[in-house]
Structure 1
């Protein structure tokens, strides 16, 4: 007998709690369904089911075997569908969530390029900050720039962004250049009060690799990083910002990066989406497209490699 068919029959019997019900669902005779299960038991040398005239229950070994059978059958189904998807063109509406700055300057241009390759996909881009419930709000995926906390979501790393301490040329003419992170205590540091701890900037030491934390103060706190970027460009003070936000400013000389031998903690960028048994072609191709676009060197790091960084 075909073992795969016998495994299917066994799972149906276990779920239905009845040979007759399972046989009816599979369009088999009750005798044939019984024969399939008995063949499995004989091959394995174990009893999978305890049978009485009124009840049918899984044995302890039967419970464990059922779990493995279900996993194997799911894997087979997933493999078959993956092959089928190779012939399926992405289409429909793709709903994407991203933060305002990253979505505007990096995801929107990517969507334009993606749509040239996949014209049958319409994208709905929603820009917002804060926690997003992907399932409840109907998103296909979100671009995450923070730590990943929800283990129920699938996450694929798209890239990373350096963080740099930066200020305007005018500010450095007036106040000078800090030589070490500890020198920041003497400077006007612009603080993002949405990050915890908001007044502590963390660095990696150049020789030992050990981390150090510097407590900073300044005349401006804001809950929006782009506001701090604009304040830094205007010469108000120094800001600790990701290069995906400051790359063009660094290249064009509006900002200058300092403390280059000290590495602030990077921003990890992920595409996150609900755990689904079968990932749709539109999500799969869009995530692949972003991954390729941001590798090996994302555009914001190319901007930062200009003469003024």
Structure 2
């Protein structure tokens, strides 16, 4: 028998002053209530009740055990209530990991509104390029870009963003404008290897899919270093439009090879488990799925 259940039966018998009364409250048989008490007495090697044919009363040991039992049962009730609230009400600490640009520029502004909706919740945000070990780093949700390699994780697609190849006018004037994917082999291509595959740029044209292995004078695990290098004439980049859109509008970068389609970059929210999601994780998933596509003009999933 479960000791916690037996302790609850003991407390009910003590309160009711009879086995029959406690059994009725607990919707069990009188014999079962008696069995729970006898097992406790056997385990403790002491008598908890003085019994007569008409009544029962606590022994001295029983009175002391009851006091401890009531505290344990109260602690368990409070603990279960706290855990249940974590499942039903967003509260506690939510740890999020996201790539630097999309995290700082596009997710962080929405967190203000999100946190206003849930006053018992706080957020720790980690801005980090590439994929992370959610379990080891204690991350509740991570935002991933592109292809997912870890099939043990659960992923929800949030949106997709178009990718463009672009460079500054200075670079194109000096080195020429590539017309076909193969032309990129003779250019400096700046690589953001947070977006897999690391050095492969893929295109779709009337002749089918084409993949080019690119090289260049600079690589980084996030977008901003290579974007800045491209703006300053160091080479070509392939980045999401949500990162370079403003540079294109202002003429700092020019899109090339627009006749070739590039598969859009998928953006996922990734989390360790599907079952028993806490309320904080569920609420953030719902929030970010509604916020992110509209925030940066991406396509909803």
Could you tell me which residue of structure 1 aligns to residue 100 of structure 2? 100
For residues 131-150 of structure 1, what are the structure 2 equivalents within 5 Å? Answer: 131-150=131-150
For residues 166-245 of structure 1, what are the structure 2 equivalents within 5 Å? Answer: 166-192=166-192, 198-205=198-205, 207=206, 210-245=208-243
Could you tell me which residue of structure 1 aligns to residue 7 of structure 2? none
Deviation per CA, 1:112-145, whole angstroms, max 9, x where unpaired?
A: 2322333332111112234423233222211111
Q: Per the alignment, do residues 88 and 159 of structure 1 end up closer, same or farther by CA in structure 2, a change over 3 Å counting?
A: same
| Alignment partner of 1:268 is 2:266 | yes
TM-score (norm 2): 0.63
For residues 68-147 of structure 1, what are the structure 2 equivalents within 5 Å? Answer: 88-147=88-147
TM-score (norm 1): 0.62
State how many pairs are aligned: 222
| Cα distance in 2 between the residues matched to 1:238 and 1:162 | 16
| Cα distance in 2 between the residues matched to 1:189 and 1:268 | 22
| Cα distance in 2 between the residues matched to 1:171 and 1:89 | 54
Q: CA deviation at 1:289?
A: 1.1
**Given that residues 144 and 271 in structure 1 are in contact (C-alpha distance below 8 angstroms), is that contact kept between their aligned partners in structure 2?**
yes
Name which of 286, 296, 299 aligns with 1:299.
296
| Alignment partner of 1:259 is 2:257 | yes
Q: Per the alignment, do residues 115 and 196 of structure 1 end up closer, same or farther by CA in structure 2, a change over 3 Å counting?
A: closer
Gaps of 5+ in 2: 1-25, 33-83
Q: Per the alignment, do residues 183 and 105 of structure 1 end up closer, same or farther by CA in structure 2, a change over 3 Å counting?
A: same
Q: Per the alignment, do residues 198 and 269 of structure 1 end up closer, same or farther by CA in structure 2, a change over 3 Å counting?
A: closer
Could you tell me which residue of structure 2 aligns to residue 290 of structure 1? 288
Could you tell me which residue of structure 2 aligns to residue 154 of structure 1? 154
Q: CA deviation at 1:165?
A: 0.7
Kindly name which structure, 1 or 2, has the bigger radius of gyration based on alpha carbons.
2
Could you tell me which residue of structure 1 aligns to residue 49 of structure 2? none
